[in-house]
Every structure is written in structure tokens, then in C-alpha cells.
Structure 1
Amino acid sequence: MKRSLLFVAILLAPLSALPAATPAPRPNILLILADDLGYADLGPHGCKDIPTPNIDRIAARGVRFTDAYANGSFCTPTRAALLSGRYQHRSGMEDLSNVSGPLPKAVRTLPDRLRAAGYTTGMVGKWHLGDQAGFTPVDRGFDEFFGFTGGGHFYLPKANARGEYTAPLLRNREPLNEQRYLTDAFGEEAAAFVGRQRDATKPFFLYLAFNAVHTPLEATEKYLQRFPEITEPRRRTYAAMLSAMDDAVGRVLAQLEQTGKLTNTLVFFTNDNGGPTTRNAVNGSRNTPLRGSKCETFEGGIRVPLFVQWPGVLAAGTVYREPVISFDLSATIAAAAGADADGFEGVDLVPFVTGKKSGAPHDVLFWRNRTRSNNYAARAGDWKFVHSTEGSEQPGPQQKPGRDLLFNLAADLGEQTDLAAQHPEKLTALKQRYDAWSAAVDADCRKLGREPMPAAPARAPAPSAPKPGKAR
């Protein structure tokens, strides 16, 4: 009888008295950012002449985003959006950091939020958000840093050279006499950071920001020898540099696997802007089938690869087709880590990819680049308003003047058919939304004590002289 009563008591015990289920461990996070990579230069995007098996594997094992965008059309702006989780214009980061100044201290960074949430934070690579004391990576939330703080660097040691691209690499704040090929060094240092977390009880966040494949075009013979069939010198060196970056990515992924961390690591691979195919740091990249280049707000300047892998959460081989943007990665990371995301404008993408949320993450997305030009754009659904200068094929920084254009990307991904005359109401509506957004971000910028970058004056088209021996 006593046993029966005990059995009944157990059955009737409140659920609150039962032991709670063990929560799933928070993931480690690896955010890989390429620099000036061409949209068409990876296997999932159709590249045939440059194998990138390690990068491609991230897409195969996770999600490929077809309509992913960078927040900026060149270096610093996208990095500022990633680290702040907001449109970079709100913090005055519309130009390179040596022009705009460093990311303001009033802006709380993603690594700072993750560290407060209990993460070990590391960065390897290119910073480009301030090199002054108080504004370097170890001042802005990273426990460890290996890399450079400026906008670019030589890949091979240069004797007696001067300038920003020859500045010593840093380990935290200490200058180094680094002799390795730079992309190799970044891969090795990132893998070493992962190795140091083998027995750690805390999760980690690693931001691996390559300067590859940004100019200068430099590669070692080891990588050049992989591409004897590419006869165009610039494309061959670019291919070698991209192959080196893929090896470096593979080295880090292998270390994750060897340490048993891979199955609980959220991995991102993306790019800071479109490939520079015409006027700025041209490197041999290709953006096919997109129109435009780095620094422009045509698709070729802002649409980027985005591959995301999270075993057990994101199904392998998934393709996601709604528009997303760089600062969505910040929000996704914060959500996965359980970190504070107050003030973020990005959206956690996981519920959308897994089907827990329907619809598009964003109603509208905006771009603005006033640096030396006056390029801007807005996308709502399949409709995109563009006002952008366009690089010339002529040597030097020639530009075709910008004008208002309207495209339907579902039917015209290459932005070849301007529909402004056929749909003036859509053009007007998108321009009005852009103008309201532009005024709002400028107001926020002023609240931080910074004056927004003024619009660049209109430029006349550069005279075009035909190339010798070529008719135009």
C-alpha cells in the first residue's frame, strides 16, 4: 500500500519539481571576412578556373544566401556596420577610417557585447576601424589580436619600404617582425587561437578578417604554380592569392575538427564589398553576371557571397533567397550567443532560414557612399532604385556620372533595363524612402558629435581617348 501511494505521489508531483532540461551549449562563432573578392570567384557562384574547396564546403554544409549584401561598397563602412550592428552612417563611418576617424567609443562593439556575455574574443587580420590609442582591436572588445590596424598591407616582406602597407604587424599592441606570407600567417594564427580553446570552458568568438584578395597583387610560387593554365598575369596572381586564402580557411576548419569544436561552431563566410573590376584597386576579380564594381551601388559593388554553417541547427544544402545584409550577421551572432543586441538594426537570420519565421527579414535596405562620388541605392522586394557613378574601362579613376535608375532584380539581375520611365511611381516611392532614411542616419550621426559626410559634387564625365590600336 505504501508503495502504491508513493507511486501516485510521484505521478502527481508538479513538473516544476522535476530537474530542468540541460540547455544547449552556446556555440563558438567564427566570422570570416574576405576583402575585395569577386562575386563570381567561388564554386557555388559558378567559378571554374579557381578551386576553393574549403570555402565551398561551408556552403555545402550549411546555407547559401543568394541575395546577400555588404552594408558598404568598400572597406571601412562594411566593417563598421558589422562591428556596430547598425548602419555605419549613424556613427559617421562612411569613408575610410583615416578620413572618417575611428569607430566612436560611444558605439558598443559586437566583441565587447560577446565578451560581456562570457565569450573569449579573438581577432586575426585587417581592422581598419582606427589605429590610434584607445581604438585598436584590444581596446574595442577583443582579448587577442594579430594583424594590422590600417587599410592594407604587403603580403611579402619588403626591405626598406615605407608607408601604411609596410607597418609592422601587431600581436595585441606589440609590433612584430613578421616574415611569413601574410595570408598563411593569418590562417596559422587563427588556427592557433582555436587550438588554445581546446580545453576551454568558455565559448569563443573569432573574427578572421583577411586582406586577401585586396591589392597589392602578391603571391608565393607555391600558389602561383597551381594555375599554369591562367595566362593573364593579373588573374593568375589573383587566383593564387584566393587559393592561399582557401587553404587558410581550410586550416582553421581542420583545427576546429581536430579540437572537437566543429559540431558546435557557427561559421560565417562573407565579403566586405563587390570585386574591384574597374576603377579602384583592380585585382583581376569577376562579378559576373552583376553590373558594377567596388565603390558603386550597382549589384556588382554591394552583392556578396554569404555562406553560413551551424551543424544541427541549419540544414546542409539550404538555399535562402531573401535579401540580407552584413549587420544581420551581427544580430545573428548576438542571438546565438545570448548577448545584448540593444540598438542593433540587423535581424537574427536563423528563424527565417529554419522556417520558424515567414516573410523577408527586411522590408527595405539602403546604401549610401558619398566618398568622392555620390552613390546610393534602396531595395524593397525585387525593386531597386540606384543612383551611382560607374567605373570606366579607361586607365585611372574615370567615372560615368550617376543618374536615377530603377531595376526589377527578379527579371534583371544584371541591371541592364532601366524601368524608371515605365514605373515612375515606384521610383518616386523608393527615392522618398531613401531620403527619409538618409536624413535619419545623419541626425543620429550628429548626436554623436560628428558631422555627416557631405554629398560629393556632381562630376563631369572624363574625356575618353581611344586606346592605341583599338576603336571605341
Structure 2
Amino acid sequence: MIRRMMSRRVVLASLAGAWRQAVGQEARKPNLVVILADDMGYGDIGCYGSPDVPTPNIDALAKAGARFTDGYVSCAVCSPSRVALLTGRYQQRFGHEFNSGDAAREALVGFGLPASATILPQMLKPHGYRSAIFGKWHLGVRKGFHPLERGFDEFVGFLEGGNDFLTEKTPKGRIAKVRGEGEAMPKKRRAVLLRGTEPVEDEGYLTELFAAEAVRFISENRNRPFFLYVPFNAIHTPLQATAKYLDRFPNIRNEKHRMLAAMTSALDDAVGAILTKLREAGLERSTLVVFLSDNGCPVMTGAGTNGPLNGEKVTYYEGGIRVPFAMRWPGRIPAGEVYRQPVVSRDIVPTFLAAAGIRPPVEFDGVDLLPYLNGRAGPPHDALYWRAGNGRAIRKGKWKLVEFGDTYSRLYDLSADVGEKADLSAKHPDVVSELRGMWKAWSDRMAKPAWPPRFREVTVNGETLNWEL
């Protein structure tokens, strides 16, 4: 009898402990994670149709939550896209319309996200969150623009828009030449690697380094709510990988594509390391994770693909702005959901704040996606808008209008022509007029660009335009 009573007490105590742990995880604010790929095309990974680059970890993330077929970013190039992601607002509200160029040009044009723009870690800090960024910043290098001055508590990465993944000291490093970048292995990284504000020397493969920092951060902060932002510079050029990853693709004959496949596989391993650490720490169900790319693939490199989409990075065709995009929160987002309404990276901040029960400090240009992923009818957005100098676009329902300057105007029905091949502007002048009017009304509310653009010629459907970036 005594043994039976003791056994019952042990069972009850165990159940009570498990209940307290479950209630504790439910009661505390959720952890928030953004994993951002760089220049990843719509067709570059397995769950979006890549035939020869398996990405089991990214695919598993998407399968365990929602995969967006029509997931957009706010800009077709790196820095403005990141502004929208971290503020939940159109980057044009801050004049941050164009990319930076190199560090010398940043200083010359006064590049950087102004202090008047509040970003996600600043919104979270008063509510007990610890925030970290491991990777590419690209929102300013001058004093006042550093991540640690913008709400982040930890930073390991680089401030500029690009960096080398390895150096000549990295074991078994390999490179593939792209657009005259050179065939010599770099003696040192082109951008200084920082821990906080201090330069650090590390000859390891950069994707692995950022993943290791993310895993450490999760382990050290498992008992408090955190925001983890991991903006990898993979799979942006330069095309650099180690033999460990290249050896996984012996049958890919295109040297550039093989290198990109290796870089993508390294990124997928990094995503797997982050997800594994969340599971091991018992944080899987209390963590909302988003994976996406900052813009589409630059087809000009000859390495990647935007799959069925037309255009590429820099353009406002689908290949420049529709990206791999997935969201996971076990128990809160149905597993295996394929969501087909247009969503945009500006939705991430409103969704995160809603998940954390935090009142929005400003009016966002995005929405909380959680109700829509749990059955709310209708599209989250009436329309989505894009602008970069002369290049512009609007999507409303099935219709997409792409314009450039005063004479280039193309209308597409994305429900029948996702590749944007058949211009319907002559057949539907009323739709063109409506969309153009909506776009102008939106554009008139935005600020003017705070610095001048650079230019890149890109050919789409046989027509070459000098797009601004």
C-alpha cells in the first residue's frame, strides 16, 4: 500500500512538473526568429521546385508550418528590403529607396536607415526581449547606425552589403569566378568581421560561423524571450564554398551552379542547426520562425534560378520580388499549409508583435498573418506596391502592372501567366488606368529618395531597361 501511494505521488509530481513547464512556456512571450537568405531565387531550393539542390531542413520548416506561394519582399535589392522587413513599413517612408554601393559611396551619399525609423528589436526591448543579429547588417556603417545602437544586444557579422565566405586560410576552400571578381583566393575578407564593435579574426566558413553564433545564443537565452535575426550573406556572390559541400554535388557540371548548390547546402545545414537547437532546448513550440530571402536571384551570374518566374534581382518582375517564404509555429500555425494569397515581408513585424501581445507603436504597412493562416477568409492585402526610381509595380488580385519611365507599361494576369510573358495592357486599358491611379496615390504619400541610385541593365522579354538600384 505504501509503495503504491509513493508511486502515485511520483506520477502526480511528474505530471505537475510537466504541466508547470507547459504552462510556463505558454505564459511567457514567444521567441521570435527570422532566418534571411541573400539573393535566393524562387527555384533555388527543394520545396520551391529545385530538381538538383535538396534542402531538407528548409523543406521541413515549411512542411511543419505554412509555405507561401505568393510571398513577396518590399524591394528587389538588399538594403531597402531589409528596412521594410525590420520596420514593417514601406522603405520609401524613410527615403531608403536605393541600395548603398561600397563603403566609400555610403559615406559620400549619407547612406543609412535614419534614427527616426524604429526597428523590431527596439519595439521588443521594453517587453523583456533580448535581441541578436548574426550576419549581414547593410543598414549603415556610420556612428549611430550600428546594430547595437538600434536595439540589438548582440552582433556578430559585418556592416556592409557583401563579404567573402572564406579566405586563403580556410581549409579546402574553393571559388568560382563571377563577373570579373577574380580567380585568386582572397587573402582576407573584403569586409571586417565584428563581434559587437570589435574586429575579430576567424578563417572559418562564414555561413557556419553565423550558425554557430545563433546556436550559442539560443542555448544562453533559453530561459527568457528572445528575438534572433540571422541574415546570412549566403547565397549572394562571391561564389565560394568548401569541399565538404561541393562534394555533395559531383554530378552538377555547371561550375557556377555547383558552387551555388554547395553554398545553398551549407545554408540548409545552418538552418538545420538552428532548428535542432530550438528542439533540444525545449523551445520548438514556443518559437515562431520565419524563413525567406531578401530578393530574387540575379540570373546574370549563371548560377541560380527563379524557377517559373520572369525577371531577376533589381527588376520588379516576379523574379525580383517573389521569394521562398515560410513560417512555423507548432500549435499556432497549421502544419502543411500552402497559403496562396499574396503576403509580404512587411507582415513579419506585425505578426511578431501580435504573437507577443505587444501593441504596435506605429501604423504598419503590413498585417498580422496569424488569423489568415488559421482560416480568415479573403486576402491580407488589397494591393501591394513597389517603387525604385523609374521602375515600379503594383499587384492587386490576379493583376500585376509593371512600368518603367513614361513609355514602358506591361499588364499581366498572374493567375494564368505567372511567367509574365503575355502583355494584356492593350486588351484591358481600364485595368491599367485603375492600377496606375492606385499606384500614384500610394507613391504620392511616400518620401523622395534620400540618395541617388546606381544602375544595372537587365533584359526581360527581349527588352533591355536600365533599372535603378
Aligned equivalents of 2:363 and 2:128: distance in 1? 20
**Quick check: 1:101 aligned with 2:111?**
yes
- Seen in structure 2, the aligned counterparts of structure 1 residues 426 and 453 have a Cα distance that, compared at 3 Å, is farther
Q: Which residue of 1 aligns with 2:323?
A: 304
4+ residue stretches of structure 1 with deviation over 4 A? Answer: 158-165, 451-461
**Quick check: 1:351 aligned with 2:371?**
yes
Q: Which residue of 2 aligns with 1:396?
A: none
Q: Which residue of 2 aligns with 1:39?
A: 42
- TM-superposed deviation, 1:402: 7.4
The amino acid across from 2:258 in the alignment is: R
Aligned equivalents of 1:240 and 1:130: distance in 2? 30
1:88-127 matches, within 5 Å, as 88-97=91-100, 98=106, 99=109, 101-127=111-137
Q: 8 Å contact 1:94–1:100 — kept in the other structure? A: no
Q: Deviations over 1:299-345 (max 9, x none)?
A: 00100111100001011101111111111011111111223422221
Aligned equivalents of 2:246 and 2:132: distance in 1? 31
- Seen in structure 2, the aligned counterparts of structure 1 residues 208 and 181 have a Cα distance that, compared at 3 Å, is same
1:67-146 matches, within 5 Å, as 67-97=70-100, 98=106, 99=109, 101-146=111-156
- TM-superposed deviation, 1:26: 1.9
Residue range with higher mean Cα deviation, 88-97 or 158-167:
158-167
Q: Identify the match of residue 262 of structure 2 among 223, 236, 240.
A: 240
Q: 8 Å contact 2:93–2:446 — kept in the other structure? A: yes
TM-score by length of structure 1 reads 0.83
Q: Which residue of 1 aligns with 2:438?
A: 433
**Quick check: 1:186 aligned with 2:210?**
yes
1:387-466 matches, within 5 Å, as 387-388=403-404, 403-442=408-447, 452=450
SS of residue matched to 1:218: strand
Q: Deviations over 1:91-122 (max 9, x none)?
A: 01111242561100011111110112211111
Gaps of 5+ in 1: 1-20, 390-400, 446-450, 465-472
- TM-superposed deviation, 1:175: 0.8
Aligned equivalents of 1:52 and 1:129: distance in 2? 29
Number of equivalences:
416
Give the CA RMSD over aligned residues: 2.6
Q: 8 Å contact 1:117–1:338 — kept in the other structure? A: no
- Seen in structure 2, the aligned counterparts of structure 1 residues 366 and 460 have a Cα distance that, compared at 3 Å, is closer
Aligned equivalents of 1:168 and 1:275: distance in 2? 25
Q: Which residue of 2 aligns with 1:378?
A: 394
Larger RCO: 1 or 2 (CA < 8 Å, sep 6+): 2
- TM-superposed deviation, 1:163: 12
Larger radius of gyration: 1
Q: 8 Å contact 1:92–1:100 — kept in the other structure? A: no
- Seen in structure 2, the aligned counterparts of structure 1 residues 43 and 459 have a Cα distance that, compared at 3 Å, is closer
Aligned equivalents of 1:44 and 1:326: distance in 2? 19
Q: 8 Å contact 1:82–1:326 — kept in the other structure? A: yes
- TM-superposed deviation, 1:158: 5.2
Q: Which residue of 1 aligns with 2:231?
A: 209
Q: Deviations over 1:205-264 (max 9, x none)?
A: 100100000000000011111100000000000000000000011111111111111121
The amino acid across from 1:223 in the alignment is: Y
Identity %: 46
Aligned equivalents of 2:87 and 2:400: distance in 1? 25
